[in-house]
A = this chain, B = another copy of it.
Amino acid sequence: MALIVQKYGGTSVADPDRIANVANRVTKGWRDGNKMVVVLSAMAGETDRLIRLSKELADPPDPRELDVLLATGEQVTVSLFSMFLRSQGLEATSLLGHQACIYTDRSYGRARIIGIDTTRIREELKKGRIVTVAGFQGVDEIGNITTLGRGGSDTTAVAVAAALKADLCEIYTDVEGIYTTDPRIYSKARLLDKISYDEMLEMASLGAKVLEIRSVGFAKQYNVPLRVRSTFSNHPGTLVCKEDAEMEAIPVSGVAFSTNEARVSITRVPDRPGIAARFFGPVAKANIVVDLIIQNTSIDGFTDLTFTVPKGDLAKTLELVGQVAKEIGAEKVLSDEHIAKVSIIGVGMRNHSGIASRMFSALADAGINIMMISTSEIKISSVIEDKYLELAVRVLHDAFGLEQARPTVQA
């Protein structure tokens, strides 16, 4: 008998029929003798509907009150789900964030879980009940309702699984699992049996939107085995877990990409100590996340500075750095929204040399120019012109033989 936490996303509980479908899946696990905790999101579209409603009265809405409003979305699904189970003669109980004692800080709209008191959940499980926990929501130390931000139900599920020391946390979604790359971009994309937490973190942060990134960090921290799978099929999906020898034998596990960023260049910057801080200080203060940064070698006391920011923050960034550029006498500020970032990811990279050069060659052979490069221990990213993105993904997928279950590589 195992203790299993299952999380179902908004499309999985989008209407009464789908809720019944999910209930049948949960019931199966329960009849197999497992203790079941189910974390549910709001019905697909409901959160957006509530946000629209709020904007009719307040724009921007007060963050505390918005959280009170949004928390109703999950409250509706957990009650409907539990009453369906009960109508089937099963023992079931819903618990809201405050009832499940999911304590968070008071950062409304993006609260962080700081602890879970599992007493009530355990009591209900002990009574043989299927426990349904409202995802996405928590409560601060004086009882204010908070929400964890978009994708927060994944975090709820993993945090509850960690707190209960569950044997497995299954994240049910509308795709079959984690692929080597997005199958919509490349039909040869292969569903992975398993992937390490670190690889998943890179995949998530680079634009593979299957799992909310904080939940993966949580799972890694507490070593919760995560299984990502589809609500609409019986395929076992992908296991996200600690890396093992098998994973380390594979240099590249997947190709991720993102088109969310824009590039900013400042030319002929007088190269003095502290110059980077002059630019990035105001940007950071405006809560703008800078991703890649390149500073060219100084020539004649001048350098060029290039970096990327989210496209939505470009206008604000140009305003801020334009100001500084004027003050310090840089030549000009350029920007480019037509860029994309393509990345190869794999824990095996650590043990294999020549991976970077193979990436660059593959792109070069396809006539794709690399504008910027950044690397980490298990990831190499190249910024390219966005019109070449799909080609780049295919070329890299082929170059590292990702369509085969066990690619081999000569290093």
Residues of A near any B CB (own CB < 8 A): 16, 19-20, 50, 53-54, 56-59, 61-62, 64-66, 68-69, 71-72, 75-76, 78-80, 82-84, 86-87, 93-94, 96, 98-99, 120, 142-145
Contact = CB atoms under 8 A, between A and B. Distances in A.
A20 B145 CA distance: 23
7 contacts: A58-B83, A61-B83, A62-B82, A62-B83, A65-B80, A69-B76, A75-B75
A7 B75 CA distance: 24
Contacts of A145: 96, 99
B61 A69 contact: no
B72 A86 contact: no
Contacts of A96: 68, 145
B84 A57 contact: yes
Q: So how many copies of this chain end up in the complex?
A: 2
A87 B57 contact: yes
B80 A54 contact: yes
B69 A75 contact: yes
A99 B68 CA distance: 11
B65 A86 contact: yes
Nearest to A142: B120
Nearest to A80: B57
Nearest to A58: B87
A61 B19 CA distance: 15
A57 B19 contact: yes
A247 B109 CA distance: 55
A98 B68 contact: no
A75 to B, nearest CB: 5
User: Max chain B CB contacts within 10 Å: which of A76, A80, A86, A120?
Assistant: A80
A16 B61 CA distance: 13
Contacts of A54: 79-80, 83
Contacts of A143: 98-99, 120
Contacts of A99: 143-145
Contacts of A86: 58, 62, 65
A59 to B, nearest CB: 7
Contacts of A142: 120
A61 B85 CA distance: 10
